[in-house]
Amino acid sequence: MEFALPADDVLLPFQAEQADVLGRLVKLGSTVDTILSRHDYPEPVSRLLGEAVALTALLGASLKSDGKLILQASTNGAVDLLVADFVVPGSMRAYARFDEKKLAALDHSDDAALLGTGHLAMTIDRGVDAERYQGVVPLEGSSLAEAADTYFKQSEQLPSFLRLAVARHFQAGENGEGAWTWRAGGLLVQKLTREGGIISPKRFEEDWTRAKSLAETVEDHELLDPTLAPERLLFRLFHEEQVRVYHAIELTTYCSCSRERVGEMLQRFSGEELSDMVVDGQLWVNCEFCNAHYDFDPKDFAPLRRHGPSLTRSSARSTW
């Protein structure tokens, strides 16, 4: 196995042949930092969204062709909505919604408390001509990793191990200067049966127990270390199992919003709906994903010209 230079924003599929397990390792630097830094989220919200980004990358990398994986957590907790998208081959975006009062009253070190109860949905969208697939599992005082483990047991029926890590990292610069940036990482390992082969239940269990025990030795700092190449980390964990890595997937950020697309969306609203968005003669839209701000002249929209804008509201907001 050859070692590559340290790499960020990459997902590396692998196989530990001796134990007959498959897995994926993700290490995120500028991609997750860009997603989280676009918003002025409190640190616990950023950390939770970073976990969602890492988890979505691990899940989305299983898509073999064009398509999108959408992870969405809807809860009654302080963070009542998390959304993260993975678009083949490796584009990502995400955002969170939270209640400031509920957040202030919680122990910020407890991700399960941040989420409360609700559900975690994972949707695979292969385009307009294909049927969507969705798996939904409950969030009952559990973390994202625990909910995902429930999904693997119920939907894929595969023994699985999942570890997610998110933290801020100080990156030194020139002349003693530097900055804090977000980093995230994750490890997913799954035991597969041999197709067309015969393996005893005892051997199956022994192989999985051994592979899981090795995976459990991974530390958060190893998943987050920018100087530790993903190939080297996998070799450190599974070299006794004859680990083999496959083609790496490069990850980056994206957003589908644009002034043109937002304008087309606004044209579909009725005059009354558009009037509700107008404040002091201004019509504006914010993208929840990338936080881009778009200002429009209400006079440019035919429904408003027919009905006339209402300028009596004290506040209004529209999101893309």
For residue 304, which of 273, 282, 279 has the smallest C-alpha distance?
273
Superfamily of 10-253 according to CATH:
Hsp33 domain (3.55.30.10)
User: Which tokens hold the place of 123?
Assistant: 């949707």
Q: What is the pLDDT of residue 195?
A: 55
Q: What is the pLDDT of residue 317?
A: 41
Q: What is the pLDDT of residue 6?
A: 47
95, 232, 235, 239, 319 from 289: Cα distances, Å = 5, 33, 36, 40, 10
Q: What is the pLDDT of residue 140?
A: 83
Contacts of 170 (CB under 8 A, 6+ apart): 178, 179, 180
Q: What is the pLDDT of residue 320?
A: 47
Q: What is the pLDDT of residue 109?
A: 62
Ranges of CATH 3.90.1280.10 domains, the chain: 259-319
Ranges of CATH 3.55.30.10 domains, the chain: 10-253
Contact in structure between 213 and 43 (CB atoms under 8 Å): no
CA 285/CA 73 separation, integer angstroms: 24
CA 295/CA 194 separation, integer angstroms: 57
Which fold, 259-319? CBS domain Like (3.90.1280)
CA 179/CA 213 separation, integer angstroms: 36
Q: Which residues of the chain have pLDDT under 50?
A: 1-3, 5-6, 196, 309-320
Report the relative pairing of strands 68-75 and 79-87 from DSSP bridges. Answer: antiparallel
For residue 253, which of 225, 292, 223 has the smallest C-alpha distance?
292
User: Which tokens hold the place of 40?
Assistant: 């002025």
Q: What is the pLDDT of residue 194?
A: 60
**0.85 cut: is pTM over it?**
yes
Helix (H) or strand (E) holding 145: helix 144-151
| Rg, the chain, Cα only | 22
User: Which tokens hold the place of 190?
Assistant: 């799954």
Q: Is 275 helix (H, G, I), strand (E, B) or coil?
A: helix
**pLDDT tens profile 204-247:** 889 999 999 999 999 999 999 999 999 999 999 999 999 999 99
User: Which tokens hold the place of 136?
Assistant: 């939904």
